[in-house]
Structure 1
């Protein structure tokens, strides 16, 4: 008798905000499983569950994630920007030292399981022209400000911690953005205020896909 192939059950990807570490991944998996969902995979910013989107109890999912201090994202454009930000923050704060410049973008793409060229093209389009590399530099320097203001690390140690092989390169980038050298910033007790990062403007593009 001929064997009939078992149909593959439909799956749905949930995009989730505020997942920035391994603990967040564990908590999200637990919350979804407690709802009776079969969780196939959880990675930074996303979880894959068995079931068609139309069959899921979205209100219950939204409520459970909200109670655990997460937020369900329901726009593709928003999810990509949020997932890139979460991956950058994870790599900045958990890797010592964090990846160097060329490797950083590849590491972000690996976190999102996407080819870097594809990720960068989609991110640039959705953010209004800002590349992934430019966003990484900005976030790296924001974290440099935080370390200089709140940690005992010296300027050279901060540069190494953030993946800079050249102190001159680090100082030049820091000065261009703040109009202040890292050493002067530290000596002045962090009185110099860093420019507030402008969130990327989401460009609505019909049929945008990564």
Structure 2
């Protein structure tokens, strides 16, 4: 019987690859793996507890309750929004509209559930992800700050700089000088 596993902390294509490989190593028949979930058929000898323990070795974990699953879906939608923002720029939908349409639930409801399940509001989580993306783009050193601001939909370089300093405690130039040691992990947000 096919089971949908809801999985916490999947934030990138490498996460999908690791989860898929580990599920296959356990003997699961994998139908699909996407950010936040996997559809599998497990051998009778493999329990959800065994799967959970294996995934925890790599920083993932199974989610069981509806609110935790919804909060993880919201995280995935916010990650997708960042990509949408990069592609659409100033023509991008608002965060609330995008997340609501991705999940098919009212944004206010999602926001309440998300805040209850995590240490952040959806907006704060989005800001933290956006600043991590700014750090990533600064690390690549292929775009200047104006280009980064434009790519990530900031209204101005000044607004990007202020938000960056408020979140990191460093100005962008100080960040560059400190050899970019303050990069975080997306699954820690």
The 1:94/1:65 distance shift into structure 2, 3 A limit, reads farther
Higher percent of residues as helix: 2
Give 5+ residue unaligned stretches, structure 1: 1-8, 51-55, 201-210
Query: What TM-score results when the alignment is normalised by the length of structure 1?
Result: 0.58
In structure 2, the residue matched to 1:189 is: 177
In structure 1, the residue matched to 2:97 is: 106
Q: CA deviation at 1:168?
A: 2.3
Q: CA deviation at 1:80?
A: 4.0
Q: CA deviation at 1:75?
A: 4.0
In structure 2, the residue matched to 1:168 is: 158
- Please say if 1:159 is aligned against 2:131: no
**What is the number of residues matched between the two proteins?**
183
Deviations 1:84-125 (A, max 9, x none): 334433443576347668623433344444332221111122
- Please say if 1:15 is aligned against 2:6: yes
Deviations 1:162-187 (A, max 9, x none): 121322221221232234433x236x
Secondary structure of 1:96's aligned partner: helix
The 1:28/1:108 distance shift into structure 2, 3 A limit, reads farther
Secondary structure of 1:16's aligned partner: strand
Q: Which moved more, 1:101-110 or 1:154-163?
A: 101-110
In structure 2, the residue matched to 1:138 is: 128
Taking the TM superposition and a 5 Å limit, the aligned residue runs for 1:121-136 are 121-128=112-119, 130-136=120-126
Deviations 1:54-93 (A, max 9, x none): xx943575588679x6844134354444443344334435
Deviations 1:138-180 (A, max 9, x none): 2111221232133321001111221213222212212322344
Deviations 1:4-33 (A, max 9, x none): xxxxx9x85421134335686688789879
The 1:149/1:190 distance shift into structure 2, 3 A limit, reads farther
Structure with bigger gyration radius: 1
In structure 2, the residue matched to 1:208 is: none
Q: Which moved more, 1:72-81 or 1:113-122?
A: 72-81
Cα distance between partner residues in 1 of 2:145 and 2:138: 7
